[in-house]
Structure 1
Amino acid sequence: MSGCTMTSKVGLMVIGLIFWAVTAGLFFVGGWVFNSYKHFDEIAEANFTLIPASIIIAVGVLMFIVGIVACIAAFKENKCLLAVLFSFMLVILTALVTSGSLGYAFRKDVSNAVESGLDKAINAYHPNSTQKDQLDYLQRNLKCCGVNNASDWINAKNWAPTANKSVPKSCCVSGINCTLAQRKMYNDPKYIYQQGCYEKLEHIFMYNLGYIAGIAVGLAVIMCLGMICSCILFCRSKEVRYEALGGQYSGLRV
């Protein structure tokens, strides 16, 4: 067995193990998104939240299968399995490039949908609404207030008529009661969170997008290496078969 073939076999097995590790990570991320969605389903559109999570889990399942096929194909040098492995990797690589391109192309649409969802949630905010619990959760945990700032609550459709220009308690800095009408201190960071929730969410989105892009590039490189290794083993299996046939008939004379 040549050094190139041995390197390709070992490389393919290592790639298979990497795929299993990545699968565990993808399942964790997908499950976390589904679990977190219950806090924001009235604020963000479902198709912008659950579709990416579904894709993540689907890719995780596919990568788990590819990891198994990679290890078996590398061990047995089976042409059929190597061809299947190459096809799977090509599909995943295409999906990575396509999803990355679509994510970049529609990033503004997602941003606009989040802003629109926040605006609708603030206008629908009242004590018995699901938007109340979700907005309170968002403002309390992200330490933000309103869409762009606390003054958004002054014109909130359901909140403003009865709140006397105050803000919800979730806008108050921890330990401070800023909901009293006489404390209309919208620009005082000692009492009210100054940053809007839209800006916070956009920052988190762009921050995480950088990590996702880096991981996607890393996976794409691994895919390319795996495809190269599978091609080398596929071609090597042909050479071995031809050498065996040549040795079998070398003693025949015409």
Structure 2
Amino acid sequence: MCTGRLKGAEVSCCVKYLLFGFNIVFWLLGAAFLGIGLWAWAEKGVLSNISSITDLGGFDPVWLFIVVGGVMFILGFAGCIGALRENTVLLKFFSVFLGLIFFLELTAGILAFVFKDWIKDQLNFFINNNVKAYRDDIDLQNLIDFAQEYWLCCGAHGPNDWNQNIYFNCTELNPSRERCGVPFSCCIKDPAEDVLNTQCGYDVRLQGRYIYTKGCVGQFEKWLQDNLIVVAGVFVGIALLQIFGICLAQNLVSDIKAVKANW
């Protein structure tokens, strides 16, 4: 249909296959994210015991992969089939929902700028909740360790935030070996050590050993300020890709309607 002319109207092959290629990449990335999320859930036994979803007090990183992967998979699939089969319903579905996502991202960005203090409070609440649930899920544990090592921080506002965790709190009744300690990711690494010491956080808040004393909320804010251009560039790049996809879909829909109008 893209090569034939009917009274001057035609469907652009360039637009059609460019949109198809765009969505193939989108669809494959979504499938990869979704596959990783479902695999992680299967490894943790969630798929065989759905009630375990409610057992986690903090954020489960696997949710991010499943939600993002699921949305990308559905939109990519709709865009691929819509472009290949010249289906205006699927193409409109793709462009409308991609536009909705763009609008939500734009709204979130504006609200984040206007309500900076509220966002900071929510970030603090989010980190503290995950500190409490640190040992409840291996993926959550890895996420917190990565954040603390990357931003050279410990807890939301400092090492004593780990008193909120039942394993690390300093109460006398706490029988845990990790009492008055912090996770190894809070420790300042010794360049001379070749092997990671995962017990370096034991008793550190009693003995005053070398650990990061700055909180992750403050360090994250500092990182954002230092990398503002890079972060803004990434968001602008994502927005431009979304606008590009919407334009391609709308252009193809217009071509298809023009051809059908001449039948």
TM-score for both structures, normalised by structure 1: 0.62
Check the 8 A contact 1:139/1:145 in 2, yes or no: no
Check the 8 A contact 2:19/2:245 in 1, yes or no: yes
- Identify the residue that residue 61 of structure 1 maps to in structure 2: 74
Check the 8 A contact 2:186/2:211 in 1, yes or no: yes
Whole-Å separation in 2 of the counterparts to 1:62 and 1:16: 12
Is the aligned partner of 1:9 residue 2:32? no
- Select which of 189, 204, 208 maps to 1:184: 208
CA spacing shift, 1:36–1:100, aligned 2, 3 Å: farther
CA spacing shift, 1:91–1:192, aligned 2, 3 Å: same
CA spacing shift, 1:12–1:124, aligned 2, 3 Å: closer
- Identify the residue that residue 20 of structure 1 maps to in structure 2: 24
- Select which of 173, 176, 182 maps to 2:188: 173
- Identify the residue that residue 100 of structure 2 maps to in structure 1: 95
The structural deviation recorded for 1:169 is 4.0
Larger fraction in helix: 1
- Select which of 204, 218, 222 maps to 2:241: 218
Bigger mean CA offset, 49-58 vs 7-16: 49-58
The structural deviation recorded for 1:66 is 2.4
Check the 8 A contact 2:27/2:76 in 1, yes or no: yes
The structural deviation recorded for 1:67 is 0.9
Is the aligned partner of 1:115 residue 2:97? no
The one-letter amino acid paired with 1:130 is D
CA spacing shift, 1:59–1:179, aligned 2, 3 Å: closer
Question: Where in structure 1 are there 5+ consecutive unaligned residues?
Answer: 74-80, 186-190, 242-254
Whole-Å separation in 2 of the counterparts to 1:195 and 1:34: 35
- Identify the residue that residue 50 of structure 1 maps to in structure 2: 63
- The number of aligned residues is 217
Deviations 1:160-213 (A, max 9, x none): 22478543444223456353455314xxxxx21344344566769x97786355
Question: Where in structure 2 are there 5+ consecutive unaligned residues?
Answer: 45-54, 173-177, 190-195
The structural deviation recorded for 1:63 is 2.3
Check the 8 A contact 1:166/1:183 in 2, yes or no: no
Percent identity for Structure 1 against Structure 2: 18
- Identify the residue that residue 159 of structure 2 maps to in structure 1: 150
TM-score for both structures, normalised by structure 2: 0.61
The structural deviation recorded for 1:218 is 0.7
Structure 1 vs Structure 2 CA RMSD:
4.2
Whole-Å separation in 2 of the counterparts to 1:34 and 1:198: 30
CA spacing shift, 1:212–1:35, aligned 2, 3 Å: farther
- Identify the residue that residue 141 of structure 1 maps to in structure 2: 146
Deviations 1:40-91 (A, max 9, x none): 94323x7x98378425413422321321221222xxxxxxx3x324422432
Check the 8 A contact 2:102/2:242 in 1, yes or no: no
CA spacing shift, 1:193–1:210, aligned 2, 3 Å: farther
The structural deviation recorded for 1:237 is 3.7
The one-letter amino acid paired with 2:103 is T
The structural deviation recorded for 1:226 is 2.4
Is the aligned partner of 1:160 residue 2:183? no
Whole-Å separation in 1 of the counterparts to 2:234 and 2:78: 25
CA spacing shift, 1:237–1:12, aligned 2, 3 Å: same
